[in-house]
């Protein structure tokens, strides 16, 4: 039996080769892999002994040869194939272990196009695809994590068709993701990111129990290794809906740097938010915004959950808590709660992947866009349009309201007072309805909006929302501006003595 080993990532390759050698396999290798195996004392045949042709063109051509691909592709169960292999003096290659040139690492490290081009693998994907096509006769190994399993099944002769098929599928996933990454990079570099084709490639992290509803299947996929590195299920299993709610809560809570922010989300939208002197105070204040909606909600904690915070959270039913981490004493508090789910990222503060792209499925396809982000400069450099000027606390409240509004379903209006969200109206077909709905809810909760700051993620088309805000006692407003009736809105703010600021940037979230 002959194995061909040619890997860029050499993690575990020496041990794998030793395991094959111990089972009587003959090993063929190339370049750096050949050197590493030889240095480890493994008997290994250099590739040009097989190809009867030297590596050439600075290593661009090594394995593109009929003695390699014929050895991989001929069908062992086909008498004509076997006879032709004998006539051509082609020796079978029964296992191919390949992983590809580090294209991703290269584009992250350099912008040098010549170097990037040289790190596009040609022979590797060709061997992978050849071996995968002939998977019934050839084992194709592309993942170092499979080395031990492959050695085990070879030892026990358990390499049945199911095992080989699973490796084949993984191999085509490997080459497809690789080619997708190259195509997407080239389109970003030369076509503004929107080429004739765009590829969404993700690695499965785990299956969810079901999708949004029990009759739908679902799973979590990740770009790079974000969830593998930063998502631990400490208690309970994450559902499809949990993950989308966690995403909404995380984006808000993690958006304020090291601030002790707490965000409560229900069905993807915030129903509570606060930044106070500590996480316990922040949660206590955030809960006041809408404790009814918070029941069964998702909470994101921008820090470590302590025992006192856990005890406070334990007073109502929360479905999910996502935090940077949990103290052991806090975990004990939640131990008796069967339904609560606890997830941690690890570390001191929550972090975001900050993906460069965003996309949404529509029937028949998807729409793709640059990912939206809220920059601190948007509020710091917002243009004062009114005679009245916001004070220091109002500026802080405007910044919070603006960031929360940008991450709340449109049309939305967010009211913040003393760094606490006191009212929110979201997902309305009318912006004035959003403003009035938020105020109505605040009254029902017994919350005083007097002196609050208000944010709208898009411009106010009429002055009616400003009039409603003034009646409620709002003292500062931030919005993008850009309406043909901006002058009327500014005039309304001046009539009511409201500090009005335009950011010049809209944040629709549909």
Catalytic residue (choose from 18, 267, 396, 505): 267
Asked whether the beta carbons of 410 and 251 are under 8 A apart, the reply is no
Q: Rounded to whole angstroms, how far apart are CA atoms 339 and 317? A: 8
**Is 198 a known active-site residue?**
no
Token pair in block for residue 359: 């996309």
Closest residue by Cα to residue 404 from 239, 243, 325, 289: 289
Phi-psi map region of 104: left, alpha, beta (phi>0 left; psi -120 to 50 alpha): alpha
**Is 510 a known active-site residue?**
no
Closest residue by Cα to residue 411 from 387, 385, 436, 444: 436
Q: Rounded to whole angstroms, how far apart are CA atoms 422 and 449? A: 7
Provide the residue count of the chain. Answer: 510
Asked whether the beta carbons of 337 and 358 are under 8 A apart, the reply is no
Instruction: Note if the bond before 411 is cis, omega within 30 degrees.
Output: yes
Element (H, E) at 118: helix 113-118
DSSP lists the bridge partners of residue 414 as 424, 455
Determine how many CB atoms are found less than 10 A away from the CB of residue 130.
21
Cα dihedral: 291, 292, 298, 303 (round 10) = 0
Burial of 173 per CB tally in 10 Å (0-12, 13-18, 19+): middle
Give the active site residues: 133, 267
């Amino acid at each position: 039996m002959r194995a061909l080993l040619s890997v860029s990532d050499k993690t575990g390759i020496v041990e794998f080769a030793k395991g094959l050698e111990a089972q009587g396999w003959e090993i063929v290798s190339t370049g750096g892999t050949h050197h590493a195996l030889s240095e480890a004392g493994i008997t290994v045949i250099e590739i040009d002994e097989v190809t009867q042709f030297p590596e050439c063109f600075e290593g661009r051509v090594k394995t593109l040869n009929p003695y390699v691909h014929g050895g991989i592709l001929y069908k062992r169960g086909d008498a004509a194939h076997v006879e032709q292999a004998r006539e051509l003096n082609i020796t079978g290659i029964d296992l191919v272990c390949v992983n590809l040139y580090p294209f991703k690492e290269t584009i992250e490290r350099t912008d040098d196009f010549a170097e990037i081009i040289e790190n596009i693998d040609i022979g590797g994907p060709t061997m992978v695809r050849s071996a995968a096509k002939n998977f019934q006769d050839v084992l194709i190994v592309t993942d170092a994590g499979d080395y031990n399993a492959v050695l085990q099944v070879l030892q026990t002769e358990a390499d049945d068709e199911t095992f080989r098929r699973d490796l084949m599928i993984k191999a085509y996933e490997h080459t497809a993701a690789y080619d997708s990454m190259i195509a997407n990079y080239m389109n970003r570099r030369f076509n503004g990111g929107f080429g004739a084709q765009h590829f969404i490639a993700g690695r499965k992290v785990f299956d969810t129990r079901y999708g949004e509803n029990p009759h739908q299947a679902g799973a979590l996929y990740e770009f790079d290794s974000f969830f593998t590195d930063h998502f631990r299920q400490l208690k309970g299993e994450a559902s499809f809906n949990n993950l989308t709610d966690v995403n909404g809560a995380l984006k808000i809570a993690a958006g304020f740097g090291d601030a002790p922010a707490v965000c409560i989300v229900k069905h993807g939208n915030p129903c509570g938010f606060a930044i106070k002197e500590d996480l316990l105070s922040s949660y206590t204040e955030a809960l006041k915004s809408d404790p009814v909606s918070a029941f069964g909600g998702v909470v994101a904690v921008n820090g470590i959950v302590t025992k006192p915070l856990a005890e406070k959270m334990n007073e109502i039913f929360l479905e999910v808590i996502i935090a940077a981490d949990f103290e052991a004493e806090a975990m004990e508090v939640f131990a008796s709660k069967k339904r609560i789910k606890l997830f941690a990222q690890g570390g001191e503060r929550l972090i975001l992947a900050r993906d460069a792209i965003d996309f949404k499925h529509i029937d028949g396809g998807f729409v793709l866009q640059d990912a939206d982000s809220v920059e601190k400069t948007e509020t710091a450099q917002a243009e004062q349009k009114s005679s009245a000027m916001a004070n220091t606390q109002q500026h802080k409240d405007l910044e919070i309201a603006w960031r929360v509004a940008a991450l709340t379903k449109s049309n939305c209006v967010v009211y913040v007072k003393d760094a606490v969200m006191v009212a929110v109206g979201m997902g309305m077909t009318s912006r004035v309805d959003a403003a009035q709905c938020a105020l109505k809810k605040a009254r029902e909760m017994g919350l005083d909006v007097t002196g609050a700051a208000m944010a709208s993620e898009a411009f106010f088309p009429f002055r009616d929302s400003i009039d409603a805000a003034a009646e409620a006692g709002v003292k500062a407003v931030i919005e993008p501006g850009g309406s043909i009736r901006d002058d009327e809105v500014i005039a309304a703010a001046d009539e009511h003595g409201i500090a009005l600021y335009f950011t010049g940037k809209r944040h629709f979230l549909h």
